[in-house]
Chains A and B, each alone.
Chain A
Amino acid sequence: MHSESAAPATMSQTLTKIASVVGLTLFICWGCGKLDVAINTKQTIAIGTFAATICTTLFFWNHRVAVAFAGLSVLIGAHAMTLDQVIHHTELNIIFFLIGMMIIIGALKDLGFLTWIIQSIINRKKMTGMTFMIILCFLSAVLSSIVGEVSSIVVVMALVFQVCDTLKINPIPFVMTSVLCTNIGSAATMLGNPVGVFIGSKAGFTFGQFLFGATPVALICTVVSLAFLLIWYRKAIREMTVKMEEHRKMNKGLGPLVRLPYRLGLFVLTGTVVTIAFHHQIEAALGILGEGNQNAFLIMTPLLVAALLMIYRSKRAQYYVEKEVEWWTLLFFMLLFSIAGGLQVTGVTDNLATQLTKLITGGPDAMVPFVIGISSVGSAFVDNIVFVAAFTPIIQSLVERSIDYSILWWALLFGACFGGNITAIGSTANIVALGLLEKRGHACVAFLEWLKIGSIIGLITGLIAWLMLSIMPVPKPVIHGSHGPVPEQHAPAHNIQPLNLEPLNL
């Protein structure tokens, strides 16, 4: 997906890529027609537009926003969607949430809180290679589940480079450990990955439900992966222990010893997370529940905290908004959600859901490994949000038929997040880590080297997710997704009972 090379492509390379995009798009349209997924012209156009957007992210990463803009014009021009539908499906609630979180993280960086985390680890006494790996693994997982995978990997990479450069050892085993655990941890909460908040919002999960459903799986996957990585990288760990010992004997530290203020940053982060965690209860207390207000306080909390921070540091407010918010990415998300909405509006996802139930007859449980598998492999090569945006309406359609299918939301979440570990281009965290590694002048991780360890961890975590989903009672949505076409009276009876403060169906 993010394979736009630094060197300018030759004309023949560009033409080959264009031919690949057109060829793949036409093939997907033809295949969908044959499989009775695209029954009419509007459906074929909706599929074609979505397929072209996916193929563009694969071959022309830098042009994805341009193609998505053009795609929306095609959908409106061909009467596949109305302008109102396009605007409605941009999922502004998710975009607002992400904007708020990005501003908060920017301010936390500014306040020195993220620096303090690194300093606290560097200043630990009697650290060994083994303890460093354990700290690294849990720090990556926990931090990514709270501040998001991209911000987390930037912090953890700074720690890895500081320690490895000081000790003069190869950072790659530790970079890999951080990235793999970051992707696993990003599935633990709604804050970890845009995929999480998207699924949570579309499915109608509360933050608390998400914690009950996702955190145990992510935690067990982190522990098992750590055990595996400790064995896989044992030589590097041993070398680090020896170097740390030598360093200690010479009375040298792993970095500068500085006391930094952290209380304000810690207070902001804890306050945000706790408020988000109780958003459902706050919504109930304020009476902002029901259709049109789903997860309203979940979305508003980051904006509210961002507002307070921008007032507190008014001189930096403009910087936070202009530099800390990734507008390009968010714009692509909005356009992508809209194009994926086209699949829903034209009925393509209903057709796909019907075909899926015909193909896999064993019910929701039989579909779990299928969804985990396909979303893992898909996310390994295509941006996971693209994959999730396409798959979401299909699951919504299945959930409309039976609430038992809601288990597939979790399968999709774990598949999309854990699948990002399989290849070097599987998630944004991977790309950022590789970029930082390259910038620091360290050797690059070869695609196959990544694939070897990534696919093992991907397989292990995928199997754990499947197993846990089979034995663990997972929460079912309290309310339907914000744009789900199901009228309230069609929802299963147990699903429209008065909103509880506790997650249902645990």
Chain B
Amino acid sequence: MSLSSFFNKEDILILDEAMERDQAISKLLEHLSKAENVPNIEQHLKAVIERENTDCTVVGDGIALPHARLTDIDRPYIGVATSRQGIDFAEDNDPVQLMMLILIPSSQPGLYLQLLRALGSVLSDKQAASRLSEMETSLEIMRFFERDGLTLPDYVCAADIMRKTLITLRENDSLQSAVDCFINKDLDEIPVVDKDGDIVGVVSATSLLHVCLPEYLTWMNDLSPIINFEPFTNVLRNEQNTWLADILVEDFPSVQVDEPAISVAATLLKRQAAKCYVLDGKKLKGAISLPNFLNKIFRE
């Protein structure tokens, strides 16, 4: 299904003056309501603004995608607005030239993410928003969206919901670096990669605790023999010459980038894990945490 099948040239609004975010959204919503007979626009405006206040939807150079999941619509609606003068979306962002307002029925949780993927080439094109704002008719704008490549994928895949992992450790890093990372970056799990960027395992605060305090030590009800952290002594003494390769967990939850996002949920449940790593072959591409997953599917 192509992206352009979700709207037509009547749903496009060319704004000829600079304006604030809420005013622009309101104008576009009114326009969409007239063109498509969308009901309850006041409630929808409230929902879109609330969503926008929670998390700004400026996604690329000059592009914003305000949206809301609504219970009283049974099909998606998309309205497009362009502005040469720009719309002020957020204080720390430049004014946007392209705004796509997306209303999604709450019964289709993955649709917004599918639309985002369909917009991939537009979002990555730094000139797209500015070129579109120069167009003078809605027909020209419509033709832009009717070009090849702007098609919806059949399903949301892991890559659509992952967060790029920023912090990694190398297998020849010492335990000391991992402990520093856990403490300074407030992390509880860090992926470990080799020199090619292939993931070799995961080192977690829990696995580190297991090294210090194996399960059989917790069989005792009376912990007085280890009350002064005696089992930690050996690990602390060797902190600098214990390599992560020695303590990392090689069996961690993972999915491939192109796997359906639903398999992330299945993996998280099966493994009773809070985080799943996204790989391209063996290359680490990102990670999906449980809150991250829930946010993408239920809220974003």
Contact = CB atoms under 8 A, between A and B. Distances in A.
Given A114-B219, A258-B231, A158 B225 contact: no
A290 interface: no
B225 A257 contact: no
A102 to B, nearest CB: 15
Nearest to A158: B216
B231 A111 contact: no
A473 interface: no
Given A112-B219, A114-B219, A162-B214, A261 B225 contact: yes
Nearest to A122: B214
B232 interface: yes
Contact of A253 (B220, B221, B234): B234
Given A258-B225, A316-B221, A118 B241 contact: no
A158 B234 contact: no
Contacts of A329: none
B226 A109 contact: no
Interface in B46-82: none
Contacts of B246: 166, 168
A256 B231 contact: yes
Contact of A112 (B225, B232, B235): B225
Nearest to B238: A252
Contacts of B217: 115, 256, 258
Interface string B194-235: 000000000000000000111111011110011000111111
A118 to B, nearest CB: 5
B61 to A, nearest CB: 44
B242 interface: yes
A251 interface: yes
Nearest to B224: A261
Nearest to A159: B216
A259 interface: yes
A259 B220 contact: no
Contacts of A109: 219-220
A256 B245 CA distance: 18
A260 B225 contact: yes
A462 B222 CA distance: 43
Nearest to B243: A250
A435 interface: no
Given A256-B232, A261-B225, A158 B214 contact: yes
Contacts of A261: 225
Given A110-B221, A256-B235, A162 B216 contact: yes
Contacts of B216: 114-115, 118, 155, 158-159, 162
A111 B220 contact: yes
B238 A251 contact: yes
Given A168-B246, A251-B238, A256 B222 contact: no
A112 B214 CA distance: 13
Nearest to A315: B221
Interface string A235-260: 00000000000000011110111111
Given A250-B241, A258-B225, A260-B225, A115 B234 contact: no
Interface residues of B, number: 25
A442 to B, nearest CB: 8
B219 A256 contact: no
A487 interface: no
Interface in A428-461: 441
A159 B233 CA distance: 20
B26 to A, nearest CB: 51
A80 B251 CA distance: 56
Interface string B84-119: 000000000000000000000000000000000000
A115 B216 CA distance: 6
Contact of B222 (A112, A118, A252, A253): A112
Contacts of A259: 225, 230
A118 B217 CA distance: 9
B242 A252 contact: yes
B221 A441 contact: no
Nearest to A110: B221
Contact of B226 (A155, A251, A258, A316): A258
A115 B220 contact: yes
Contacts of A110: 219-222
A255 B216 CA distance: 11
A350 to B, nearest CB: 48
A9 B208 CA distance: 39
B3 to A, nearest CB: 40
A115 B231 CA distance: 13
Contacts of B235: 256
Given A158-B215, A168-B246, A251-B238, A256 B230 contact: yes
Nearest to B215: A158
Interface in B244-259: 245-246, 249, 251
A175 to B, nearest CB: 16
Contacts of B213: 256
Interface in A399-450: 441
A252 B231 CA distance: 13
Contacts of A316: 221
A113 B56 CA distance: 59
Interface in A87-111: 109-111
Nearest to A443: B251
Contacts of B251: 441
B176 to A, nearest CB: 15
Interface string B121-159: 000000000000000000000000000000000000000
A256 B225 contact: no
A166 B251 CA distance: 15
A168 B247 CA distance: 9
Contacts of B230: 256-259
Contact of B214 (A168, A252, A255, A441): A255
B220 A112 contact: yes
Contacts of A168: 245-246
A112 B220 CA distance: 5
Contacts of B241: 250-251
Contacts of A250: 238, 241
Nearest to B248: A168
A256 B233 contact: yes
A118 B214 CA distance: 11
A109 B221 CA distance: 8
Best-buried of B214, B215, B233, B246 by chain A (most CB within 10 Å)? B214
9 contacts: A109-B219, A110-B220, A110-B222, A111-B222, A115-B217, A162-B216, A252-B234, A255-B214, A256-B230
Interface of B: 212-217, 219-222, 225-226, 230-235, 238, 241-242, 245-246, 249, 251
Given A111-B220, A155-B216, A256-B213, 4 more contacts: A110-B222, A118-B216, A256-B234, A316-B221
The 3 closest A-B pairs by CB, nearest first: A256-B231, A158-B216, A112-B220
